[in-house]
Amino acid sequence: FYRAANQTKFDYSFLQEIPHQRPYPLEGYLMPGVYEFNKKTKAEDILHVMLDRFDRKMTSEVRLRLREGNLTVDQWVTIASIIEWQTKNRGQKPFQARKIYDRLNQGIDLQLPPAPPPYSGFKSYQNGPGLPPGPLNNPGIESLMAALYPAKAQTNGTEHP
């Protein structure tokens, strides 16, 4: 499966901006969910089904929100992967997204614990502001939507819950 993911060429527009040197180029784009395949299904076919599911999430509304937020698809997926990694509570995901965007906009580091492999060398306290070099996992739809629609900023200076 890993060999197919790293060696097969897939023709999806959202994959075009992924840097070639990324250790796992499809990380972040394989939609989690329940899939049913028979034992003879080729890894390439499984990957196509997972990427097709992600592609269906790339609606015109999503593309518009990304343009309005001046985000690439890869930045969006990377932010969603941080939300997925840091926040298991669905209701807190938009607040985690707001915290990430606020820190990025202020030019301060994200204050994350060491990232999981393959980016375990990325430590936001040492690497400074900015996103990790790529998605940390394959985020689910709630994290993707939270990254697209973060909580509104509070104007009284208090922290989000």
153 located within any domain: no
157 located within any domain: no
161 located within any domain: no
122 located within any domain: yes
- Cα 55 from Cα 20, distance rounded (Å): 20
**Residue span of the structural domain in which 64 resides:** 2-148
Sign, CA torsion 106/154/84/143: negative
Angle at which helix 73-86 crosses helix 141-148, to 10 degrees, equals 120
Q: What is the CA radius of gyration of the chain?
A: 16
Full pLDDT tens readout for the chain, 161 residues: 888 988 888 999 999 988 888 888 999 999 999 999 999 999 999 999 999 999 999 999 999 999 999 999 999 999 999 999 999 999 999 999 999 999 999 998 887 776 666 666 655 555 567 888 889 899 999 999 999 999 997 644 445 44
Domain count of the fold of the chain: 1
156 located within any domain: no
**Paired tokens of 156:** 């009284």
54 located within any domain: yes
Q: Where are the alpha helices (DSSP H) in the chain?
A: 2-7, 43-57, 60-68, 73-86, 93-106, 124-127, 141-148
Q: Burial level of 117, CB count in 10 A (0-12/13-18/19+)?
A: exposed
